[in-house]
Structure 1
Amino acid sequence: MRTSTLTCLILTFTVLNPSNAIQTQAISDILNIDDHLVLAGVLCFIASAISNAGGIGGGGLFIPTLTIVAGLDLKTASSFSAFMVTGGSLANVMYNMCTRSPKFGGKSLIDYDIALSSEPCMLLGVSVGVICNLVFPEWLITVLFALFLAWSTTKTCKNGMLLWKVESEEIMRKDWNEEVENRLLENVTTEENSKIKIPWLKLCVLLLIWLSFFSIYLLRGNKYGQSIIPMEPCGVGYWFLSSVQVPLAVVFTAWVVFTKQSLQDQTLEHEGPGLTRNRESNKIVFPMVALLAGILGGFFGIGGGMLINPLLLQVGIAPEVTAATSSFMILFSSTMSAFQYMLLGMEHIQIALIFGIMCFVASLVGLSVVKRAIKKYGRASLIVFSVSIVMSLSTVLMTTFGAIKVLRDYKSGRSMGFKLPC
């Protein structure tokens, strides 16, 4: 195995600091990073920058890259992906929480109301999707995944082209004086709304939802018997705890929806097919969309961000709000996965943390570039196209990866039909 650049740096540091020789040698032995993993890291950095600019976690790109380029097994790649998505979404959320948009009256781009009404159903949907993933044959999952992503990518591209056309018409209508006046008004609005207000109550409710579902996942464990308490895999206790998620999601969603008088209306301001104007927020739409995204995410084995992002665009949420809100929701689901991997005995956690930090930086880079481009050219459609690029690449990579796995299963004589969940 060839020594990577990172390993060389560790060895150099060891020579220059003899007192830390034992510790750094131990780190080098534990990491055991080769050039293939470094190459995978570079590719994942680029993928994270593009993905998080559109509010997508990037798991659909990370897992194939880590398995094909770095040669990691699927279980290890999935655990790494959870940390990488967490790092990228954390940077995205921090960035958006500290900024205000003059386009939406100086409000935050994160729609906390959508997140509140959607998160319980999304977490429930993930559990339902995971069970379906265990039951359905691999070939059927691959075919359905390819069809759904192909359809979703096509719809997202059409929305992007439509939004681009509308933006072009607006730019042509503006003369120089109007543009200067608008910029002055934006500066005044930004100054008036410079004070950042964080909705701590909503964040506490979201944290309560997260802790409730995380406690169930941790107590239940997985089908292999990995749990913090002794429990028979797929026994009565396992299925009882799994079923508790249904009333939990219903109670949280009902409480959020019926106690909140109105959701923020941050929809697209342009008229046209597929773009809504002055749309009255439908409180039931977002939980249903989140439930569908969660089921599909768990069923296909990817994060819900790649699915909830285009679905929110379809119901008329503005691209900037969609990207910020989607990343905010992804943070809760990805941290849940990352903590579960840690508490259930994950290996190579040092490398996972390095990849997570790398994606944190990549996310900030991608966000900065896209935000500057939007400010300079006045085209929020760049976010939609960023989503389309990630989804297109994910469709190709994940479908190819799934087809290879199905072929291997077929050659090895494994069952190609429906299975029991345990």
Structure 2
Amino acid sequence: MKAARKILRVLVGCFLGCTVISAQANPSNGTATGLPTADPNSVRGRGTAPYLITNNTGNVKVWPALALNGRNIAATTVSLVGGALANAAGVGGGGLFVPMFNLLLGFDAKSATSLSQAMITGGAITSFFYNLMLQHPTQKKPLIDYDICLLLEPALLLGIGAGVVLNVIFPSWIIVILLTLLLTYMSYRTTSKGISTWKAETKKAQAAPPPGSLSSMMDHSLSDHEMQVISNEHRQSPPDNVVLAAAARASISANLEVAGENEVALSMPHSPVSAGGQEVGEAPFRRRWRRTSKAKLMFDTSLIPRRRLFEVLLVWLAFLVVSVLKGGSKTPSVVGVRSCQPWYWSLSALQVPLAIFCTALVARRLGQQHHKRLSDGDDYHPDELHFGPRQLVTYPLIALVAGVIAGLLGIGGGMIVGPLLLELGMLPQVTAATGAFMVLFSSSLAVAQFALLHMIPLYTALYYGAVCALSGYIGLSVVRYLVKKSGKSSLIIFSLAIIIALSAVVIGILGGIKIAHDFRTGAYMGLQKLC
């Protein structure tokens, strides 16, 4: 209950703060731009006072003001639930947020898209810092796989750009049908993956020894380092000393449980121990053990790859510069480049060598690491993705196709990349953390473009971004607790399946309504002209 009250206070504080600032920026006799206030009932009959802003394209945007009413309360509830599920699964959740802003709050399609990206960015920032210093479940490396991010993201962004061009050409009814079918299939595949993983985890748990047994304590109580010390202590001992070694390990486990987090002093018997009539040990030995604290184990700053993060930042800035100069259907160019002009196509084509160059640099480094590992006889871990010559070509091509599909159907790449990473064999925890980082990469890129062009309702974006950040933390914490308590990482896969299924239902219903409306009104439903 205390946590719930804290969360409620944070939400109310964010909402009231953004409401007050929004009201100060948009007084009743005009706005910050000096434009007269629009009729309160002119924005789709919402009854909330809208505010006006002129972006650098010369168009006047009419946005509903952030106010304490039933619609914003309902939208906050949807944001909390959707944000928790989406961030726990490592996806954006735009399939839920765009219809929420468009239909529930009355924003136009472009503004709804920008607000959705702001929400996704807020949740992705929370996910990034939450996962930043967490360790891989089975290996001594970060939970986020930065190598796969750097390998896939340039090709994914390139594919999204090509898909957006196709999105302009294809009629909306084809896009809605394809999107609904794709999300339904992805939901089915993800659910099947979750069920199979659940069964495998259940079978493994049933085959494991009881928690209180000696073998269980031997297998799970000590770290690899502690086991190595024990092995070194008894390496020169007679074969009969194996029994003593097992007893010592059980004693260590019991002492660790009693002593807690700090130093533990372990003592062996001082008197000789006989086994089969022979003395096993005469001299007493005493060794001090230091158990790694939970805080250090959970938040290890050595797991932060500063060089990888710097590389990600450079790639992000490179694509941001090209995107801002080029513009697009929803984000005009800052230098006045119009669609279908020679400069537009030149800047669009510039993304191809940029993506190839970034991908080639990462692939070269990963290929060298792969060759070194093979030369040293270092086999890949069963839960680790291989980066051989074949994979270094296949993975970016998969990301390129996924980006084209995402851009064509108007969704983020997370809903496609997440299930694909699971199919490639990545662990659910790593998939969610890596997918969330890739979502942060792409969504922050979009938000930066919208913000530079003044195409985003600032205070509404701040409020709902904060809501999604908070809900993301709640979702991550709850799912991590459940996974730790149950030992079933398949719960993360089910979260991904649920958010994809919800998006399929929402888009299918709303898209079906729009298709029916276009058909009744005789709207043109053929291919559109690109220029």
TM-score (norm 2): 0.70
Determine the C-alpha separation between the residues in 2 that align with 1:267 and 1:73.
Answer: 50
Determine the C-alpha separation between the residues in 2 that align with 1:21 and 1:134.
Answer: 34
Give the match for residue 425 of structure 2. 316
TM-aligned CA deviation for residue 249 of structure 1? 0.7
Which 10-residue stretch deviates more, 120-129 or 71-80?
71-80
Give the match for residue 42 of structure 1. 77
Determine the C-alpha separation between the residues in 2 that align with 1:21 and 1:415.
Answer: 39
Residue 303, structure 1, aligned to residue 303, structure 2: no
Determine the C-alpha separation between the residues in 1 that align with 2:379 and 2:526.
Answer: 45
Contact 2:168 2:530 in 1 (8 A): yes
Contact 1:57 1:305 in 2 (8 A): yes
2:321 is aligned, of 200, 209, 215, to: 215
TM-aligned CA deviation for residue 418 of structure 1? 1.0
- Identity, % of aligned positions: 35
Residue 283, structure 1, aligned to residue 392, structure 2: yes
1:226 is aligned, of 307, 332, 335, to: 332
Determine the C-alpha separation between the residues in 2 that align with 1:367 and 1:285.
Answer: 31
Determine the C-alpha separation between the residues in 1 that align with 2:381 and 2:526.
Answer: 45
> Is the radius of gyration larger for structure 1 or structure 2?
2
Give the AA of the match of 2:443.
Answer: S
Residue 326, structure 1, aligned to residue 435, structure 2: yes
Contact 1:268 1:316 in 2 (8 A): no
Give the match for residue 149 of structure 1. 183
Which 10-residue stretch deviates more, 282-291 or 299-308?
282-291
Long gaps (5+) in structure 1: 15-19, 270-276
Give the match for residue 205 of structure 1. 311
> Compared with structure 1, are the counterparts of its residues 185 and 107 closer, same or farther at alpha carbon in structure 2 (3 Å cutoff)?
farther
Which 10-residue stretch deviates more, 153-162 or 173-182?
173-182
Contact 1:100 1:193 in 2 (8 A): yes
Q: Deviations over 1:177-232 (max 9, x none)?
A: 35545553367596578632221111111111111111111111224782211223
> Compared with structure 1, are the counterparts of its residues 230 and 279 closer, same or farther at alpha carbon in structure 2 (3 Å cutoff)?
closer
Determine the C-alpha separation between the residues in 2 that align with 1:54 and 1:326.
Answer: 8
TM-aligned CA deviation for residue 125 of structure 1? 0.9
Give the match for residue 185 of structure 1. 222
Give the match for residue 500 of structure 2. 391
Residue 382, structure 1, aligned to residue 488, structure 2: no
Give the match for residue 142 of structure 2. 108
> Compared with structure 1, are the counterparts of its residues 61 and 342 closer, same or farther at alpha carbon in structure 2 (3 Å cutoff)?
same
> Compared with structure 1, are the counterparts of its residues 225 and 109 closer, same or farther at alpha carbon in structure 2 (3 Å cutoff)?
closer
Give the AA of the match of 1:171.
Answer: A
Describe the SS at the equivalent of 1:351: helix
Give the match for residue 123 of structure 1. 157
Q: CA RMSD in A?
A: 3.0
1:51 is aligned, of 63, 79, 86, to: 86
Determine the C-alpha separation between the residues in 2 that align with 1:219 and 1:280.
Answer: 37
2:120 is aligned, of 67, 71, 85, to: 85
Contact 1:116 1:256 in 2 (8 A): yes
Give the match for residue 134 of structure 2. 99
Residue 71, structure 1, aligned to residue 176, structure 2: no
Contact 1:219 1:229 in 2 (8 A): yes
Determine the C-alpha separation between the residues in 1 that align with 2:330 and 2:461.
Answer: 22
Give the AA of the match of 1:165.
Answer: K
Give the AA of the match of 2:301.
Answer: I
Determine the C-alpha separation between the residues in 2 that align with 1:325 and 1:280.
Answer: 16
Contact 1:225 1:232 in 2 (8 A): no
- Please list every run of at least 4 consecutive aligned residues from structure 1 whose deviation after the TM superposition is greater than 6 angstroms: 263-268
Describe the SS at the equivalent of 1:185: coil
| Higher share in helix | 1
Give the match for residue 409 of structure 1. 518
Determine the C-alpha separation between the residues in 2 that align with 1:283 and 1:380.
Answer: 27
> Compared with structure 1, are the counterparts of its residues 288 and 419 closer, same or farther at alpha carbon in structure 2 (3 Å cutoff)?
same
> Compared with structure 1, are the counterparts of its residues 402 and 37 closer, same or farther at alpha carbon in structure 2 (3 Å cutoff)?
same
Determine the C-alpha separation between the residues in 1 that align with 2:379 and 2:83.
Answer: 26
Give the match for residue 272 of structure 1. none
Determine the C-alpha separation between the residues in 2 that align with 1:25 and 1:148.
Answer: 43
Contact 2:483 2:491 in 1 (8 A): yes
TM-aligned CA deviation for residue 51 of structure 1? 0.9
Determine the C-alpha separation between the residues in 1 that align with 2:484 and 2:394.
Answer: 31
1:195 is aligned, of 290, 297, 300, to: 300
Matching of residues 250-265 of structure 1 within 5 Å: 250-260=356-366, 261-262=368-369
Describe the SS at the equivalent of 1:284: helix
Determine the C-alpha separation between the residues in 1 that align with 2:199 and 2:23.
Answer: 61
Residue 240, structure 1, aligned to residue 346, structure 2: yes
Contact 2:133 2:299 in 1 (8 A): no
Which 10-residue stretch deviates more, 321-330 or 144-153?
144-153
Determine the C-alpha separation between the residues in 1 that align with 2:476 and 2:399.
Answer: 24
